Amino acid sequence: MRPSILTLFFPCVLSLYLTRQEQKVVRWMPLGDSITDYGCWRAWIYLRLQNDPDLYDSVDLVGGEHAGEICDDSEFDRDHEGHPGFPAIQMANEGQLSEWLGKNPADVVTMHLGTVDIVRGRPRTEELLRAYTALVGQMRGRNPNIRIIVAQIIPLGLDAEKNEQVKELNRAIPTWAASQNTTASPIWAVDLFTGFDAEVDLYDGIHASPSGIQKIAEGFYPTLLTAIRDVQGVGSG
């Protein structure tokens, strides 16, 4: 007797269903200052992940903060650790990230930090990189296999001299990231600066306008997708 179509098809469907059910839910923590808290780039990324049939309901944003922006009435996971006015150096020195990760464990962290430090003063690039290193240590202290994505931060439109410091920091980040990279806990640097127009993509010289929000989201997304798939052990696709 020839097998029916259903006999042939059902095991494939069952296999796909079980694979989908067993797929690891990846916990993603957006970490930063007001540039992480404000705007809708997190919503843009979350909704795009939800629209991917391979990733639907497999990414959980985590953090103790819950931004209230409407974001075109979209329903999205609002959890994050974006803290307006928080300098990277202070965050590192106070060790609060370890506490945040203790309450809300993460598999992947996206980090955009340093803007507040530069706006408020003139810390040396080396000081900021030491703060980054301390934060990476706190992340790995909670999860030795955490995946970390560090932004080359967006421009400042307020002050040309301060924006030069942003550029200096950004030039140093890829080399720093490579020095901190490990097989168990990879670090990626993503360039959010190039192609970002401070006159158009910022609404107040610091925070992203709608066009800037889109650029932040598009800048983070491909590497975030790589990190998510790395956690799930399915490759970059």
* CA–CA–CA angle 220, 203, 121 (5° rounding): 80
pLDDT at 4: 42
Instruction: Encode pLDDT of 158-174 as tens digits.
Output: 899 999 999 999 999 99
Tell me how far apart the terminal alpha carbons of the chain are, to the nearest angstrom.
39
Question: In this predicted model, which residue has the larger pLDDT, 65 or 6?
Answer: 65
Q: What tokens does 145 get?
A: 């296999």
pTM: 0.89
pLDDT at 68: 64
pLDDT at 1: 42
Q: What tokens does 29 get?
A: 């923590």
Average pLDDT over residues 128-141: 98
Q: Do 28 and 106 form a contact (C-beta atoms < 8 A)?
A: yes
